[in-house]
Chains A and B, each alone.
Chain A
Amino acid sequence: MEITTTAFKRCVVLKTSGRIDGSNAPEFRAALKEITDDGVFNIVLDMADVNFMASAGWWVLIDTQKTCQHLNRGELVLASVLKSIQNSLSLVGMLTYFKIFDDVTSAVGSF
């Protein structure tokens, strides 16, 4: 799993690609935890190259969102989410937990 992080003035952008499933969710979790352990709670997940997200991946994002939003100190937002992935999240009624931006630039600009 290839993960890159880019630090901006007010947030960090994490980008990964391919599938996020039960096999690599722990690695994905560790990468996000590294960011929040550094005291950064404004995070953009760039999903432009993510083509599949299983529930294991959503739980990583939910736990990260809990950490970020704790004490109103920040937020995890999603950018460039594939339509089918958005639909699956919408079907289970979990779209309300994440702000979704069309592209990384507007996501970064939201902070």
Chain B
Amino acid sequence: MTSLRLSEVFDQHSETMRSKSFPGRLENLEKISDFIVQAAKEAGLDDSATYAVQLAVDEAATNIIEHAYRGTNQGIIICSYDVLKDGIKIVLKDQGKPFDPQAVPEPNIKVPLEDLKPRGLGLYMMRKVMDDIRFEFSPKHGNTLTMFKRKKKSLNLTKSG
């Protein structure tokens, strides 16, 4: 495999990192989605990968608004993306309560319907649909979530004969 390892992707930067700030309110989720769908298209992702990125960012932004900013309707989400050779890197930053992904239990999906519990599904979806996600917190910079979605290789590169 010639593509970059994910750890390398996280440290990689192009000249095209773009950012936009959004007030941390649920009614802005659609604007955040529009921004990121545009980014995914720019990066050349197909429809399915674009939806995956949209879903992951929506879940992340919802968590920031409801948990990091505790639903106060205050605080800013800075959404950035970087179009890389292999896909797209997305960074979400907030100054809310430190987020500890370890504290969120993975939802138990293989249970009868009546036992399904509404917790942790958003984070679980993010992990499932993205190729990698990383959470960091520092008192100075707040929460930083970095996600990467790989672009599907075009078929004619792998086809033989």
Describe B's contact surface by its main secondary structure. helix
Q: When the two chains form their complex, are residues B109 and A93 in contact, meaning their CB atoms are under 8 A apart?
A: yes
Say whether chain A's binding surface is mostly helix, strand, loop, or mixed: helix
Residue of A whose beta carbon sits closest to that of B115: A66
Q: Which residues of B contact A58 (CB under 8 A)?
A: 121
Interface string of B87-114 (1 = CB under 8 A from A): 0000000000000000000000110011
Question: Taking the complex as formed, is B143 at the interface, i.e. its CB lies under 8 A from any CB of chain A?
Answer: no
Contact B30 A92 (CB under 8 A): no
Complex partner residue of A54 from B48, B55, B109, CB under 8 angstroms = B55
Does any Cβ of A come within 8 Å of B17's Cβ? no
**B136 close to A (CB within 8 Å):** no
- Apart from A23-B26, A56-B122, list 13 A-B contacts with CB within 8 A: A19-B29, A21-B29, A21-B30, A21-B33, A21-B62, A22-B65, A52-B51, A52-B54, A55-B59, A65-B113, A85-B51, A91-B129, A92-B128
Listed by A's residue number, 27 A-B pairs whose Cβ atoms lie within 8 Å are A19-B29, A19-B30, A21-B26, A21-B29, A21-B58, A22-B29, A22-B58, A22-B66, A23-B26, A23-B27, A52-B55, A54-B58, A54-B62, A55-B59, A63-B118, A87-B48, A87-B51, A88-B51, A88-B129, A91-B125, A91-B128, A92-B124, A92-B125, A93-B109, A93-B110, A97-B113, A97-B116
Chain A residues engaging chain B, CB cutoff 8 angstroms: 19, 21-23, 52, 54-56, 58-59, 62-63, 65-66, 69, 83-85, 87-88, 91-94, 97
B interface residues, Cβ below 8 angstroms from A: 26-27, 29-30, 33, 47-48, 51-52, 54-55, 58-59, 62, 65-66, 109-110, 113-114, 116, 118, 121-122, 124-125, 128-129
